[in-house]
Structure 1
Amino acid sequence: MGFYRSDRKHTTRPMVHAVPELLAKYESPLDCLTAHLMLECSEVLAGAKPANLVPLVNRTRPCGRNLYHLWQAHQQQIACRFGNLEFIVLQNKPKAFLLLCFDRKQLEQHMSHAGIRTLLHKAGYKPQACLDELFDLLTQRIVEHDGFPHEIGLFIGYPPKDVAAFMGLVKLPFTCQALWKIYGNPVHSLRLAEDYRCCRQRMGAILATGNRRMLEIGDPEHPFFCQNNDIDFHLLHGAKL
């Protein structure tokens, strides 16, 4: 996977999500699902985030497709297309799937940090639990309580100090709201939020071309992984149909 880091100043602008117009650019149902997951997992693909939550709601979209059903039909092909990126189902309900997409190596390294392990232990996880054991307890809690346990922020790259404050384990003043509640000094947290947003914006611009070659996310030369911010140049000169 690549790494993309924004040079822009932090903001609290909203995250880009897949819109019907973007997905409608891809005629094949598998391509449609691929484009949706590429956008929703863009921060993980970029190496900016260890994992991301992706809900797939059981409803027909304006383009006539149902991503819930597409996942049921194409999850094996998706696994092949995304290479090192893995998907597990945290919650399976008739109305929606809740997926966790992650890069195993990156997430294992992230979850091995002493501060994160301490917070997980306080939340009831075994100190020496491997990643799959952490997943088991996380999934169990989501199913039992039909919601997100507070520690889920640790899995998806939220700053530990913000997660700890949200859980009430440390006393820090609430500062502002980004993709998550930020406590104490907001500078690092806001920078992370902006990096995440820029990854999503960059992927959205690439997918909006409707170029099927842009779905080859397993290619290390994919424009998304290029450090040059001139996306149009790469699309025009490096990825023609």
Structure 2
Amino acid sequence: MTDAKFESVLANFCSPVLMNEKISNLVSIHKKDIPNIHSLIKYYNYLFKKYDLVMTSVCECSRRVLVFVYKKSLLSEHLRDKNVAEILNKYGYKNIDTLEGYINLLRSRIGHNDFPHEIGIFLGYPIQDVKGFINNRGKNYKYCGYWKVYENIKQAKKIFRQYDRLRNVVTDKLKSGESIENILNQSHSNYNIA
């Protein structure tokens, strides 16, 4: 039940997560382009479980589904960080003891009219940049790439280049006929994670 179009979307928007370089990504998927998105999420969750990868819908309207793709163990560890917890506590993420609890609260906050800016924490953005974005209401940033940068531009550019490189590697492999699962097998074997 693999789906080439869905795998292409994952490669374009989630390669850093798939390749163990980022804790999570969000991808907006148009239902017209991938009408069986919920079935695919279920299937790929089954397929990706051994790689510690999970995907879940965090918001949906009549036309689109916002899918959160994450490395379960890395995101759990990240959310336990003292500095991360401090920011999230300000937004009501208190007394939550499971990753699912955090994601469920994030999902409910996304469902409201104002998009939750703390989502940068869930996406693994640098804390100083998340704080800068929140304090400046998305303005006055020093550089913009995968996120708006308020502090360490040099480090952010290095990360952005790495993310671009990973996207190119994964999309090139897909174009040459490999499947996402095969790419994950190779990646995880190289990192001795599987």
TM-score by length of 2: 0.84
Q: How far has the Cα of 1:112 moved from its partner?
A: 1.4
Residue 77, structure 1, aligned to residue 50, structure 2: no
Residue type at the aligned position of 1:81: L
Q: What are the Cα deviations for residues 56-100 of structure 1, in whole angstroms up to 9, with x where unaligned?
A: 1123xxxxxx21x13134333222332321111101211100010
In 2, the alpha carbon distance for the partners of 1:205 and 1:157 equals 25
The equivalent of 2:56 in structure 1 is 88
Identify unmatched segments of 5+ residues in structure 2.
none
Aligned ranges 1:1-241 → 2 under 5 Å: 30-59=3-32, 66-67=33-34, 69-83=35-49, 84-126=52-94, 128-145=96-113, 148-168=115-135, 174-209=141-176, 211=177, 213-217=178-182, 220-221=185-186, 226=190
Task: Say whether the 8 Å CA contact 2:58–2:68 is kept in structure 1.
Answer: yes
Cα gap change, 1:188/1:225 in structure 2, threshold over 3 Å: closer, same or farther?
A: farther
Which of the two has higher C-alpha Rg? 1
Cα gap change, 1:148/1:193 in structure 2, threshold over 3 Å: closer, same or farther?
A: farther
Cα gap change, 1:144/1:42 in structure 2, threshold over 3 Å: closer, same or farther?
A: same
Q: How far has the Cα of 1:200 moved from its partner?
A: 1.1
Residue type at the aligned position of 1:113: D
How many residues get paired?
186
Q: Secondary structure at the match of 2:29?
A: strand
Q: How far has the Cα of 1:124 moved from its partner?
A: 2.3
Cα gap change, 1:74/1:182 in structure 2, threshold over 3 Å: closer, same or farther?
A: closer
Cα gap change, 1:184/1:75 in structure 2, threshold over 3 Å: closer, same or farther?
A: closer
Q: Secondary structure at the match of 2:44?
A: helix
Task: Say whether the 8 Å CA contact 1:51–1:102 is kept in structure 2.
Answer: yes
In 2, the alpha carbon distance for the partners of 1:184 and 1:37 equals 29
Residue type at the aligned position of 1:48: E
Residue type at the aligned position of 1:216: E
**Higher helix residue share:** 2
Q: What are the Cα deviations for residues 5-32 of structure 1, in whole angstroms up to 9, with x where unaligned?
A: xxxxxxxxxxxxxxxxxxxxxxx87233
Q: How far has the Cα of 1:128 moved from its partner?
A: 4.7
Task: Say whether the 8 Å CA contact 2:45–2:54 is kept in structure 1.
Answer: yes
Aligned-pair identity (%)? 24
Identify unmatched segments of 5+ residues in structure 1.
1-27, 60-65, 228-241
Q: CA-atom RMSD, angstroms?
A: 2.4
Cα gap change, 1:127/1:57 in structure 2, threshold over 3 Å: closer, same or farther?
A: same
Q: What are the Cα deviations for residues 188-220 of structure 1, in whole angstroms up to 9, with x where unaligned?
A: 2222222222211211111121x1x43324753
Residue type at the aligned position of 1:34: E
